[in-house]
């Protein structure tokens, strides 16, 4: 992309939507370096795909789709090297969130539970926490709204159980 106007527009759009990218990186990156690498990978993918953006959807919707697909693809590549989730990474993963200790513990519990979800469930949860409508979620994820509602109800129940287990030590035995 050699056109300076296109480059400037791209930079402005990515800058205006960087909060979305940070959230995706926080959701899918286990450590600060992982998040930084993922951020760079997403921006590269957005840059490569930008000439094909036709404006049929909102830019943020298009950005979500590219960013989520990149994050999920990156996660799948990493799984070849990682055999299991290491809970010792959790404080590092959440260290840059400026909340009270109590709030931090709640977030640690929530993020630990979210990290145990499938890739699609993680993406759905993130969009839900962003207050996206089911129509927007359908456009981003390519899953029909009725299926999204069912999946979201199942995810909520799954998260309730997982956070209850973490807080109260209740198991599924």
Examine domains 1-83 and 90-173 and report if their fold is the same: no
- DSSP 3-state assignment of 81? coil
Nearest Cα neighbor of 35 from 86, 77, 1, 74 is 74
pLDDT digits (tens, 9 = 90+) for 99-143: 345 665 776 777 788 888 998 999 999 899 888 999 999 998 999
pTM to 2 decimal places: 0.61
Residue 47 burial (10 A CB sphere; 0-12, 13-18, 19+): middle
pLDDT digits (tens, 9 = 90+) for 27-68: 888 788 888 899 999 999 999 999 888 888 889 899 999 999
Whether 147 shows a pLDDT value over 90: the answer reads yes
71-77: average pLDDT: 82
* Annotated domain spans of the chain: 1-83, 90-173
Residue 35 has φ and ψ, to the nearest 5°, of -65, -40
Per the CB < 8 A criterion, the answer to whether 42 and 67 are in contact is yes
For the domain covering 1-83, report its CATH number. 1.10.1740.10
DSSP structure class, residue 51: G
Residue 135 burial (10 A CB sphere; 0-12, 13-18, 19+): exposed
**Which secondary structure element, helix H or strand E, spans residue 66, and what is its range?**
helix 59-79
Whether 9 shows a pLDDT value over 90: the answer reads no
User: In CATH, what class is 90-173?
Assistant: mainly alpha
Residues 49, 10, 141, 161: is their CA dihedral positive or negative? Answer: positive
């Amino acid at each position: 992309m050699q056109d300076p106007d296109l480059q400037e527009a791209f930079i402005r759009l990515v800058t205006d939507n960087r909060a979305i990218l940070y959230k995706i990186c926080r959701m899918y990156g286990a450590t600060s370096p992982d998040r930084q690498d993922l951020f760079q990978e997403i921006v590269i993918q957005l840059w490569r795909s930008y000439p094909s953006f036709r404006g049929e959807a909102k830019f943020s919707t298009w950005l979500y789709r590219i960013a989520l697909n990149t994050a999920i693809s990156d996660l799948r590549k990493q799984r070849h090297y990682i055999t299991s989730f290491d809970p010792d990474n959790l404080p590092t993963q959440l260290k840059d969130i400026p909340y009270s200790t109590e709030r931090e513990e709640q977030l640690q519990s929530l993020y630990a539970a979210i990290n145990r979800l499938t890739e699609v469930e993680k993406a759905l949860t993130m969009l839900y926490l962003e207050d996206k409508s089911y129509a927007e979620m359908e456009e981003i994820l390519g899953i029909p709204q009725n299926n999204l509602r069912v999946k979201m109800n199942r995810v909520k129940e799954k998260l309730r159980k997982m956070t209850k287990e973490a807080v109260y030590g209740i198991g599924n035995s």
